[in-house]
Amino acid sequence: MADSWASRLEVKLGDKTISPITSISPTFTVPHTVLHSIESDNVGIIRQPFTVTFTMAIPAIATAVADLTEFALTGKEFDIAVVDKEGDDWAFKALKFRRCFVTSAAPSNIVVDGVPQANFNVTALDVGVEV
């Protein structure tokens, strides 16, 4: 199997791609509380709801940053997807962060060389993997 590296991260609104993603740093939190009883310690655990948050950087070009800033201000949800455009360089067809909400935004400085990046902190209410 040759690596084609044809996959990429992208921000999608419905079926429309509004921007590719330069980088993403996800954090998955699955809290557990240890359960004790009168007779014994550590008899089990109580699993609490998971949370998924991440920081993503996108190129500050076209209207993508303005669109995501508008989503932050209006509370509009969107999806993030790792999609296999062509080839077979991933073990799955898609990794989807659904029902995402921007919790904070940090536009970048203007740079002389290269494309400026804008950073967004995001919470996802649903995560799915398509194999």
Token code pair at residue 76: 């509009």
Asked whether residue 5 carries a pLDDT value surpassing 60, the answer given is no
In terms of pLDDT, which residue wins out, 81 or 102?
102
Rounded CA gap, 12 and 76, in Å?
A: 12
Residue-range domain boundaries for the chain: 7-130
Specify the CATH class of 7-130 in words: mainly beta
Average pLDDT value for residue range 69-76? 89
What stretches of 37-116 adopt beta strand conformation (E)? 44-47, 51-59, 78-84, 94-106
Provide the whole-model pTM: 0.72
Asked whether residue 46 carries a pLDDT value surpassing 50, the answer given is yes
Q: Are residues 13 and 79 in contact, defined by beta-carbon separation less than 8 angstroms?
A: yes
Mean pLDDT of all residues in the chain? 80
**pLDDT at residue 1, as a whole number:** 40
Q: What is the pLDDT of residues 20-36, one digit of tens each?
A: 778 888 888 889 999 99
**pLDDT at residue 121, as a whole number:** 93
Average pLDDT value for residue range 30-54? 90
Question: In DSSP terms, which residues pair with 73 in a beta bridge?
Answer: none
**pLDDT at residue 2, as a whole number:** 45
